[in-house]
Structure 1
Amino acid sequence: MVEKVAELPTGGTSWNKNFDVPAEKVLDLKPDLVVSTWSGGFNAESGFATRDQLARAGIDSYVNPVDCAYGATRPSAADQAAYDRQSIASTYDFIEETGVIFDVQKKAAEVVAGLRKRVEAVGDRVAGEDRPKVLLAFPGMASMSAGGLPAVFSGGVYDDIIEKAGGENSFPSDGPDPDLTSTLSPEALASAEVDVLVVGLTDPSEEPEVKRLADQLFAKYPQWSASRTKTYTSLADGAFIGPANVRAVEKIADATHPR
C-alpha cells in the first residue's frame, strides 16, 4: 500500500513530531471529516486538533469505536470494555461503520465477507495442529523500552491474529497490554518460549532488512527454538486493527504451519 499512500494529495502538509498532521493545518484545510484510529489522535498536548476545536469549525470527527478508550483521559465503562475485548472482529466492525459513513454499505459488506472467508480458510488449515509459541516483536520501536529491547505486543487483536494463525502468543494476555514493552525485562524475553519470530516493521525502509533484524534477535537469544530453526516472518500494519489483519493471519500461519 506504500505506493498508493504516496499518491494521495497532502495539501502541502508536513508531519509534526508525532508523525501526524498539526492542528493548525487540519483547521486550515477545512475537511468535512477527520478520522482517528484512537482518541489520542485528538489530544492537544500532542499537537492535534481536539474534537471540540473541530466541531466549532464545523468539522465532523470520528474515532474507531474499539479504540475510543485508547488515549482517553476518562473512558466510559462501555468504551473500556470494547477496547479490552478487541479482536479481528473489531476490524470487520470498523469497515462496516466506515461503509455507513460513506454510504457504501454494500461494498463494505462485500469486503468483510471476503476477509472472513480468508481467515476461515486459514482456520480450516491449522485446525487440530499443535500451536507454536509466537513472539511479535518490533525492533524499530526499541526506544519504547527502557532496556533497549524490541517492542513486544500481546493481548487484544495481537493475540487473536496469532491464535487464528494456529499459534499462541509467547506473552499471552486477557486483554491489550500496552505496558508490556515498557515493563518487559531482558530476563523475561530471554527465557520466553519462542518457536516462531514475527518481526514487526515500522517503516518501509525496514522491508529489505527483515533477515538482518531477525538474525540479530536470533544471535542475541540463541536459546529460542526459533533461533535454532531460523523460523521467522514479518508484518507491518497487519498487527493493528485494519483489513491487513487478514494478511497477517495468512503470513503467520505460513510460518507456524508451513504448507
Structure 2
Amino acid sequence: MNVLSRNTLSSRLALVGAAGAFLLALSACGQSVTAPPPAGEGSGAASSGTAGAIGGSATASGPVSITNCGTELTFAEAPQRAVGLSPAQTELLLRLGVGETLVGQAQTGLQALPADVASQAEQVKVLSKGEPPAREELLSVNPDLVLSPTSYEFTAEQGYASVEQLKKAGAQAYIATGGCADRRASAVVTDLVTDIENLGSLFRKPEQAAQLSKQVKDRLAAVSQANASATAPTVAQLFVDGKSLSAIGAGIEADIIKQAGGKNVFSPDDKLFESFFAAAVSPEQVASLNPDAIVFATTSDTQTASIEAYLRETFPQVTAVQENRLVAVPSANLLPGTLGNVDAVELISQKIHDR
C-alpha cells in the first residue's frame, strides 16, 4: 500500500503554518476569523460564461471565469490538458467525465484511486508518487490547468512549479477552496461542493457537477439525520508524531468532526489556536478533557497500530481508551478538496456513535 511520507506531511503542515502566521500578522485576526462564505460565493464561485456539455467531450461555448483563492481564472474554452496533483483532484475529474483531458497525475502514493474509476487513469502519466512533482516534470506535460489540494504543491523553494511559473508556461492553477491559505482555518467540508461546481463550470460539465454535488450533500444529510436525536460525544482530534501530540482545533478537520455529530474538546476560540489551526499539547491537557473518542490521522496499518499502542499506554483512564473509541482516519481523507472528506465524516460518525 502506497502512503504519504511523514516528511511530506510534516513539510505541508509547517508550510501552511508559516502562511497562516504571515496572514495573521497582516490581518490581525485569529484562526476563527470569519464564517465561511456559502458554496458558490467568495473563494470560488463561477462568475461568467455559458456551459454547454456535449456528450462526453469538454468543448466550450464561451469563456468562463471563476475566482479561486482570490485570483480570477478565465478559460476561453474548456481545459484540454489537466494535471491532478493528488489522487483526490484526479478522481474529481474522472467523476466529472473529463478524464480524457488528464495528461498527468501526481502524489499517487497518497492513496489509491477508488476501484470504480482507477482503470480510467491507468494510462495517465505518473509525475510523482510520494511528493509533488519537480517543476521540470510538471511542465514537461505542457498542462493548461493544474489542480491541487493546497498551496504547498506550488512552493518554488521546494523545487515545485510556482503559480507564476505555471502562468508563464501557459497554465493556470486551481487550489481546492478549503486549501486556500487565507481559508485554511475556517474551511468546511462543503467547500468541496464549491470545487465541484467550479470544475463543472470550467470543463462545461454542469449536469455532471450537479449530480456529484447532490451525492455529497445527500451523504452528509444522511449522517446528520442519523445523529439528529443523539447526544454529541466529545472528541479530541490529534496528530501524533512519535510521542509528540498536536491538537486540531479548527479548519476542515474540525468541521469533519462537527459534521460527524461530535463535539470537539478543542475550539477555534481557544488561545491555543489563535495563530494556527493546530497546536502542540501535552498528554496532561488531553487527559484533563477526558474525551469520549480520539480521532487521529494515519498513513498505514503499521502507523495505526503504533499510534493506538501509544494512546492506550498514555491515556489508560480516558474514556476514549476505556471504551475503545480510537478512530483512525486516512490522512489523505483530511486534505481539502477531496471526496474522502465525506468518507471521513461517515467513518467517524459510525465510530463515535458506536454503530
Question: Shorter-chain-normalised TM-score: which range?
Answer: 0.7 to 0.9
TM-superposed deviation, 1:8:
4.5
Matching residue of 1:189? 286
Is residue 166 of structure 1 aligned with residue 261 of structure 2?
A: yes
Matching residue of 2:173? 61
Matching residue of 1:77? none
Give the AA of the match of 1:244: G
Kept after mapping to 2: 8 A contact 1:13/1:25: yes
In structure 1, distance between residues paired with 2:239 and 2:204? 36
TM-superposed deviation, 1:34:
1.4
Matching residue of 1:214? 308
Matching residue of 2:26? none
* CA deviations over 1:180-210 (Å, ceiling 9, x no partner): 65532343233233211223113xxx13653
In structure 2, distance between residues paired with 1:14 and 1:211? 28
TM-score, normalising length: structure 1: 0.79
Q: 1:14 to 1:214 in 2, by over 3 A?
A: same
Matching residue of 2:147? 35
In structure 1, distance between residues paired with 2:306 and 2:161? 39
Q: Which moved more, 1:210-219 or 1:22-31?
A: 210-219
* 3-state DSSP of counterpart to 1:134: strand
RMSD: 2.8
Q: Aligned match of 1:157 in 210, 233, 252?
A: 252
Kept after mapping to 2: 8 A contact 1:198/1:235: yes
Kept after mapping to 2: 8 A contact 1:199/1:214: no
In structure 1, distance between residues paired with 2:176 and 2:265? 28
Aligned pairs (5 A) from 1:1-259: 2=112, 8=122, 11=125, 13-14=127-128, 19-68=131-180, 70=181, 80=182, 82-139=183-240, 142=241, 148-174=243-269, 177=273, 179=276, 181-202=278-299, 206-207=300-301, 210-236=304-330, 237-241=332-336, 242-259=338-355
TM-superposed deviation, 1:41:
2.2
Q: How many residues are treated as equivalent by the alignment?
A: 237
User: Which 4+ runs in 1 deviate beyond 6 A?
Assistant: none
Give the AA of the match of 2:267: P
* CA deviations over 1:82-122 (Å, ceiling 9, x no partner): 44432111111111112222222211111111111111111
**RCO (CA 8 Å, sep 6+): is it higher in 1 or 2?**
2
**Per residue, is there more strand in 1 or in 2?**
2
Kept after mapping to 2: 8 A contact 1:164/1:249: yes
* CA deviations over 1:10-40 (Å, ceiling 9, x no partner): 6464458xx1101121122212221222223
* 3-state DSSP of counterpart to 1:49: coil
TM-score, normalising length: structure 2: 0.59
* 3-state DSSP of counterpart to 1:29: coil
* 3-state DSSP of counterpart to 2:140: helix
Q: 1:8 to 1:217 in 2, by over 3 A?
A: farther
Give the AA of the match of 2:352: T
Give the AA of the match of 2:135: A
In structure 2, distance between residues paired with 1:116 and 1:221? 36
In structure 2, distance between residues paired with 1:25 and 1:196? 43
Q: Which moved more, 1:230-239 or 1:89-98?
A: 230-239
In structure 2, distance between residues paired with 1:13 and 1:92? 27
In structure 2, distance between residues paired with 1:228 and 1:113? 39
TM-superposed deviation, 1:172:
2.1
**Per residue, is there more helix in 1 or in 2?**
1
Q: 1:114 to 1:10 in 2, by over 3 A?
A: closer
5+ long unaligned stretches in structure 1: 71-79
TM-superposed deviation, 1:252:
1.1
Name the % identity.
Answer: 27
Kept after mapping to 1: 8 A contact 2:238/2:245: yes
* CA deviations over 1:19-69 (Å, ceiling 9, x no partner): 11011211222122212222232221121111121111112222223432x
Kept after mapping to 1: 8 A contact 2:177/2:192: no
